Structure formats: C-alpha cells, structure tokens
Structure 1
Amino acid sequence: MIEVEGLTQVFGHKTAVDDVSFTVRQGAVTGLLGPNGAGKSTTMRMIVGLDRPVKGVVRVNGGDFRRAERPLHELGALLDPAALHPGRSGRAHLRALALTNGIPSSRVDEVLRLTGMVEPSSRRVGTYSLGMRQRLGIAGALLGDPQVLVLDEPVNGLDPDGVHWVRELMKSLAAMGRTVLVSSHLMSEMALTADHLVVMGRGRLITQGPVTEVIARATQSDVLVRTPQAEELTAALGTIGGSTRRAPDGALLVTNATAEQIGRLAASGSIVLFELTPQQGSLEDAFLALTKDDQEYAAGTVAGPHGPTTGSEQDGARR
C-alpha cells in the first residue's frame, strides 16, 4: 500500500505538487492521470524517495521507503527508461542491480524471460529502441519481486503486443495482491487496465475513486432510443423531467431518465421502441471534462483556408 498525505513540492517559485493526498491500495491497479505539468512524475519521485517533499508524508507498506533495508524487494519503479548506462549490456545492467541488492543472478534470467529481453540482453543499451528500454526498465522494476510497483508511462514506445503485455502484467500482479501505481496519457488503455483513478491538475488533486464512479461523476449519461414515435415519446418524457436531443443518425438521446423509466413510460403510452440502450461517457470524456481548467499547455489555433484550425486538426490533415 502507498499512503500519500499532504504532499507538497516547490521548485523555485513554482508549486509542482500542492497538498496532495491519496491512497494506492493492495490488489488493484491505480492510474495516476493528469495533463502535462500536472505533477504526476514529481509525485512518483517523492513516493520512491528521489525527491524530498517540502511538506507531507509518504508511507510505503506503512514505513518510509527511503529507510528500507532491501528497497528492490519492497518497491520496484520505472520512472525514466533513458536512465541507463548506454555502454552496458541489458544483462550487465540487471546483474549490477542484483548484486547491489542481494538478489540471486537466477532472478536476472527470470525477468529477462518475462519481459522478452533474453536475446537483446547481450547488446549494449545504447543500441536499444525506446520500447526495448521500457522492457528493460520493467525488468529492473520486477527484479526484487516487490510488493509495490510504480510505473511512469510504461507503454510509451511499445507496439500493440507490448502494450497488451504490460496491461496483463499489471492486472496479474494486482490479482496476486500487489500494489500497482501507473501513470499514462493513454485514456483508452487506462480504461482497460485501472481499477481506481487519481486525477491531478496543476499540482492539485482533482478527484479520485473507482474508474466507473469517476466517469459517472464527470460525464453525462444518455439513453439511446430508436422509435417511430419520437415526438410522442419526447412529450411523455417531459412530464417526468426527461429531455431529448437528436443523434446524428436520427435516434433520440435521452437525458435525465433511466432506461427503465423510458421503457415503462413507452409501454404505458403504447409507444413502439426499436432500441433502448444506456450510453456511458468514456474515460477520455471524463478526463477532458475534469482537467479542462487545468491544462498548463493548451494548444492554440491556426488560421487555415476555411477558418481557424486547431493544432490537432492540422496534424490530422497532414497525416
């Protein structure tokens, strides 16, 4: 378990982390989300003892990780895949970690097999791609078979197979009772992986909770309805406070009424329904809604031949 209480970090005149508190529980994958500059990486560095907070306390399994006698057995971390000696082989890097932490060399072979790095491990790290560095970094984090795992953007540079492997690895470790904290900007991946979310913005905690609850609180839930009697249904819904709007394909999107309420109302009024499907917002929708006022690096617009165009739209046009 990781317990963060009132964590604060200041660099010069900038408060990078501002009185943040949350708990990362055993047996679950907790996603740490936030836009660039939210303070996620700084928070992770304070958790693993690389940065000392100005204020606040971090407890890993009830104690101060900086004083752990066998640190790699307690917590494994991947914070920067580039923090590797380019002249060493991958195997030599892991062997050095093992020797300095009292870990048998047989464990090096185990994590190399687990991460698919047996063949590349004889090559110098300086020749590795970003994805290979990520895999080696994960191997290092797993070397001590730790109870707690902290991973900062672990799927960057990985191909789809690698992303799937990391996802299943984190879920399996959580199922074994381990504590897993992971940051990512890939909302679709976090929706598949995380059980619990901690969302930060501009150094502050915005919200936390189970994934489904965070999404439900931050997005509007609709019910998709297809009926040949749209006007009659809309009028009937108005009597119970429900409202409708048209979807692009002509179906109705109903707000402020559950699927059960709509079905009962339609039945009582002899209104024919072809489809009645609850629609839940996505994690990406929730993330954008929660962080809309906390984007430190907001993109501007560029005037194109058809008016202003956002940076992302221009990128899409080029692709």
Structure 2
Amino acid sequence: MELRTVATFLRVTELQSFSRAAEQLGYSQAAVTVQIQQLEQELGTQLFERFGRRIQLTEHGLQFIPHAQELLRVAQNAKTFIRQGAQPSGRLRIGTAESLSISVLPPILSAYHARYPLVETSIHTGTIPVLFDMVRRNDVDLLYFLDKKTDFPEWNKVLERPEPIVFVAPADHPLAGQQQIPLQTILAEPLVLTERGISYRYDLEQLLAARGLELHPFLETGNTGIIVDMLLHHAGLSFLPRYVVQTYLESGALTILSVDAPSIQMWSQLVYHRNKWITPQIEQFLSLMREHIGTAQQPDQTL
C-alpha cells in the first residue's frame, strides 16, 4: 500500500471531490481515480459511492479514515526520527476573522516564525460563511473564528475562549464613568461599527429590535483597525470584541461604557476538518496557540 495513495484518499475525503483533489495534489483526475481504485482493490472493499459527479464515503470508507491517518502519522514519525533536529517546513494556511488577525494573531505568528522560520504562513480573512467553505474545500488548514459556540460533526475543535463584546469610547468621552447608560443615549451618539452580518453586530441588532430600536452608524467598515483609529480621534463610539481594544484600555486611551443592556458574548474558536492530515507545521502551531490562548477544549484527534 503506497503512502501516496493513502494521502490521495484523505485529500479526496477532505474535499469530497476527485477533481478538486487532483487539482490540489497536481495530478490528473484520471490519476486520482486510478489511485483510489488501486486502494480499493488492495483493501478488498469500496471506499466511495459515485453518483455522477458526486461522491460519498461508504461505511468502510469512513472506517478506513483513522487507519489512513495513522499510516501517515507513523510515516511522518519515521521521517522525524531520521531527521532529528530538522525544523518543520512547508505551508501553513490559516483562515480567520479580520479582527483576530489584527488583534490576537500577530504576537503568536511572530513567536511561531521565530521558532519555525522555514514555514511559509498565509492568512486568509473573510466572513463566517466564506471561512466555513474554505475549511470544507481544504483551502485553509486551520480556522480561527469568532462566533457563537459552534460545533460541526466534521470538525475537530482545538480550543475555544469566551470573548466579551463591549461598548467602547475615548476615555475622556462625556459618557465615560456613567453607570447603566440607556441604549437610547448610546444610539444618539455617532457610531462607528463593523459591517452588517458580523456575528456580534447581528446580536446587537436583534437586542435593539426587541426594544423597537435601530442602529444608524455614520460609518461601517470591516476593518476593526480603522474603527479603533476613529475612536482614538474622538470620532464616536463603537461596539467591539474586548480583545480588539484591550491594549488601549490598559493604556487609558479608551474605556468601556456601562450600558443598560444584557451583555453579548462570542467565542473565539480554533478548528480543523476531522479528515485533515496534521503536518508537523500545523501541529506546532496548534501547540503554540494552546500556550497563548488556553486549552479549553482538546481535539478528538491525537496530535
């Protein structure tokens, strides 16, 4: 049984497509088909059911996934043993929310590069639906996102952390220091907000709608860095994850407003597809994230 064929099988299971697997692996679709057929012959069972252009894992195909992963893991361990002291190399692709890429990831990525300079890391940002699709298409290796607690059976969750969402203003704003500020008072102020559809803005809109209120920001942008700059220039108030403004809260430049409204909380979550082959560079990044973020939840797959 060739390891290359096993790796092809896992890539097809990740993408649920022979053609996309062929494109990512640099093979022709016919070559991928032949490899899967050879593997099925060796195992003496059918791994995929084919419905025109659609494929679906058979029961034996599902059962073979952990064995295929173990075969590649053993092979990787053997290579590591032979190349003792060798640094991880290759690619690491991370899909993430824009706010996390600006506020949370930079020190982690800096530490990662210092430890593993041979790894080429790329960051891909987008909305939650876009990021979810990227994981399913294997366009990214890991997904680090902000949303309500989210669990899908095809994902392994490595960690999660509660992230409070707060009303924030310049420290010398007239509302700073006041307690239980009415929502109507907040809405009367100039607001700089993230775009519609962002998870925490959506929850705020629902909260306001229940009270017959609406948001009318004077500026909307998907870039939280721009929003923070606007606040620092006394251009209004905003509603942001606390991690976005933590540095400025500590320096005294910005302050959290006490608002008469239920608190809204999201969760930062790090996941990968359950069929994903965990390379050394991915494994080391997951380890570093645990060091920096925590170990709220461990993945099902042993790394």
Normalised by the shorter chain, which TM-score bucket? under 0.3
> So what's the TM-score if we normalise by structure 1?
0.26
From the two aligned structures, give the one with the greater strand fraction: 1
> So what's the TM-score if we normalise by structure 2?
0.27
